[in-house]
Amino acid sequence: MKKRLLTLILTGMVAAAAWSGSGTAAYAAGGGATAGAGITAETAETTGSADVTSDALALGQAVAQQTFAAAIAQGKDQATAFALAQQAAQNTITQYLSGIAGAAAGTGTAASGTAASGTAAAAVPAKTGNTVTDTAITRGLWTKYAGKKVSITSDSINTFDQYNPAWYGTMYPMGDVLNVSQTWWKMVLDATGESLDVNASWAGSKVCGNSLDTTGKTGCGMKRIFDLTGKGGVKPDVIWVILGTNDMIAGTPLGTYYAGKPIPAEGEITNFADGYDLMLAKLGGVYPNATIICFTCFPDTDVATGNRHTNSLGLTIEDYNAMIKKIAAGHGLQCVDVWNCNMNRQNAATTTIEGIHPSAQGFLLAASYVVN
- The burial class, CB within 10 Å (0-12 / 13-18 / 19+), for 346 is exposed
Predicted TM-score (pTM) of this structure:
0.69
**Is position 109 within any domain?**
no
**Is position 119 within any domain?**
no
Q: Peptide bond preceding 173: is omega within 30 degrees of 0, i.e. cis?
A: yes
Nearest to 272 by CA among 293, 292, 257: 257
Domain count for the chain = 2
The answer to whether residues 83 and 156 belong to one domain is no
pLDDT above 50: residue 144 = yes
Boundary of a domain, candidates 69, 85, 104: 104
pLDDT above 90: residue 325 = yes
Domain span holding position 96: 2-104
User: 313 or 136: whose pLDDT is higher?
Assistant: 313
Strand order in the sheet with 149-154: 195-201, 149-154, 238-242, 291-295, 334-336
CB-CB contact of 170 with 160 (8 Å): yes
CA atoms within 13 A on the CB side of 39: 19
**Is position 60 within any domain?**
yes
3-class secondary structure, 241: strand
**Is position 118 within any domain?**
no
The answer to whether residues 83 and 153 belong to one domain is no
Average pLDDT of the chain is 78
Q: What is the mean pLDDT of residues 237-261?
A: 96
Percent of the chain predicted with pLDDT > 70 = 69
CA–CA dist 217, 179 (Å, integer): 24
The answer to whether residues 59 and 180 belong to one domain is no
CB-CB contact of 363 with 187 (8 Å): yes
Boundary of a domain, candidates 58, 86, 104: 104
121: left (phi over 0), alpha (psi -120 to 50) or beta: beta
**Is position 121 within any domain?**
no
pLDDT in tens, 43-84: 333 344 444 455 556 566 666 666 666 667 677 777 677 777
CB-CB contact of 52 with 113 (8 Å): no
CA–CA dist 150, 235 (Å, integer): 9
The answer to whether residues 206 and 98 belong to one domain is no
Lowest mean pLDDT among 11-25, 32-46, 63-77, 159-173: 32-46
pLDDT in tens, 87-106: 777 766 665 555 444 434 44
**Is position 88 within any domain?**
yes
The answer to whether residues 15 and 144 belong to one domain is no
Numbers of helices and strands, H then E, in the chain = 14, 7
The answer to whether residues 167 and 303 belong to one domain is yes
3-class secondary structure, 123: coil
**Is position 116 within any domain?**
no
The answer to whether residues 91 and 187 belong to one domain is no
CA–CA dist 100, 226 (Å, integer): 10
The answer to whether residues 154 and 41 belong to one domain is no
CA–CA dist 253, 284 (Å, integer): 24
CA atoms within 13 A on the CB side of 253: 7
The answer to whether residues 354 and 259 belong to one domain is yes
Lowest mean pLDDT among 14-23, 219-228, 251-260: 14-23
Which pLDDT belongs to residue 58?
A: 56
